Structure 1
Amino acid sequence: MFDTMTMTKVVGAVCGALLVFLLGSWAGEAIYTIAPEGHAGEEERAQAYLISTGEAEENAEASGEAEVDVAALLGAADAAAGEKVFGKCKACHKIDGTDGTGPHLNGVVDREKASVAGFGYSEALKAMAGQQWTPDNLFAFLENPKGYAPGTKMSFAGLPKPADRANVIAYLQTLQ
């Protein structure tokens, strides 16, 4: 019943079916996938349309009610805790005076925006040149980088906790 010829036919049929499946998958990806132009991740695609569910308005109202006293948070900030939170930033930013994926952060507090020589800043940050990275500006930027500077190359989502942002700023102030 299961002689060599039958087994050969079964294995051939399975291999043929896998080949058809793989070719179909490859063709489907080629047709329906939109590849970004240029290098991977350089350009961000804009969403074609938004469907409002009302959540954004509710979240905005809820966050508007809880105003944060930045000066008080910065006064009570802990640089040692900020160093731990800064671990999230180390993937892109260095503190030894050399640039990584992002510019080095030595002396960033009260430094002019987009002022590290030789670093390729986004147009959003270049437009802010001449302004200072004050603790208040850094606090807002670290909360939501893309909201603070739309079009920034920084892909980090931000630090949602105000205490974490204040601690990181306190740590960065020690790196002058």
Structure 2
Amino acid sequence: MSQSDDRIVRIDLDGASMGPGDVNADHERRVAIADLLEGNRFRPDGEVDGPYALRLAIEHDRLVFDVRLEDDTPVHGFMFALGPLRRIVKDYFLICESYYEAVRDAPLERIEAIDMARRGVHNEGSTLLRERLVGKIDVDFDTARRLFTLICALHRRAAS
């Protein structure tokens, strides 16, 4: 197995978890998916070599990771409660709203300050996600950041 096989080559967000989203959130989701597919490190625990397909969903207030091989052979599936991520996701939504409002008419210094705070909260969520994945899936920080963005997209839509 080569390191290039430790990656996601397809990602699906569960349609049942999806609802109407706003333009900014949809854009972030599309960018996160494109960036994730362009470069990621993703290795489920176990002996099954990738590359992998990942389906993310929210079911019964739990985050679902359904990991498969590229040919759809099941590899690993697990669920975990959204509770530990909920505060960070809520903070992220609030700061994103402030950011999008500021972009319309605030001075550049204010936009930059809000953007730094937004990235800080995003990093906090990504770090927590990596911690939650320990013993299940090994991901690098950039992959965790992109996955956190997608989890936020699902969470936003599930709450709609």
- Alignment TM-score, normalising by the size of structure 2: 0.33
- Alignment TM-score, normalising by the size of structure 1: 0.31
Question: Which structure has greater helix proportion?
Answer: 2
Question: Which structure has greater strand proportion?
Answer: 2
Computing the radius of gyration from Cα coordinates, the structure with the larger value is 1
Q: Which has the higher contact order (CA 8 A, sep 6+)?
A: 2
